[in-house]
Amino acid sequence: MKLLISACMLGLNTKYSGDSNIDINLVEYLSKNHIEFFPLCAEQLGGLTTPREACEIESGFTSKDILNGRGRVISKTGLDYTKNFISGAKQVLDFCKTFGITHALLQPRSPSCGFLKVYDGNFDGTLVEGNGILAQLLVDNGISIIEDIKDLSVK
């Protein structure tokens, strides 16, 4: 298995706030097992700076809508970063295809990486069913999303 991992989960300061979402259990697991992994940040690849303003998928729209040209990814102050999110997601997908990556472990809730649940677009912490832009693009292209580190042992 070749695994894409959200860079912030491995301690890289790629999170919108300039911090990371380091998962010590994940780092320890990867250091003890022989899994080929690739840390990437779709938002940085899409040209966004770190730190950057928090963004969410526009309320009432899904990542599928956005990938089909409807809806936006907006910042807390209303700026449109849709093109950045789509560009970064496409670059990560191209990377996955080039290197034969079959699985991904992504940062929950993110407008890029969220899987099954993302923020609702109102910047109030409410979650709704859905995927981030990258997660949706990966799923649509046959890359399996791993929801939890414990799922790594069964792949």
Residue % of the chain over a pLDDT of 70: 98
The beta strand positions in the chain, using DSSP E, are 2-6, 36-40, 55-57, 73-75, 103-105, 117-119, 127-129, 144-146
DSSP, collapsed to helix, strand or coil, labels residue 36 as strand
Question: Which pLDDT value is given to residue 154?
Answer: 47
Report d(CA 70, CA 61) in Å as an integer. 8
As a whole number, mean pLDDT of residues 142-148 equals 94
Pairing of strands 127-129, 117-119: antiparallel
Q: Per-residue pLDDT tens for 51-80? A: 999 999 999 999 999 999 999 999 999 999
Tokens (6 digits) for 143: 């890359």
CB 46 within 8 A of CB 86: yes
Could you tell me the pLDDT band of residue 155, with boundaries at 50, 70 and 90? very low
Report d(CA 131, CA 86) in Å as an integer. 13
Q: Does the global pTM surpass 0.85? A: yes
Report d(CA 137, CA 35) in Å as an integer. 23
User: Among 20-24, 57-61, 119-123, 149-153, which is the least confidently predicted range?
Assistant: 149-153
As a whole number, mean pLDDT of residues 80-88 equals 98
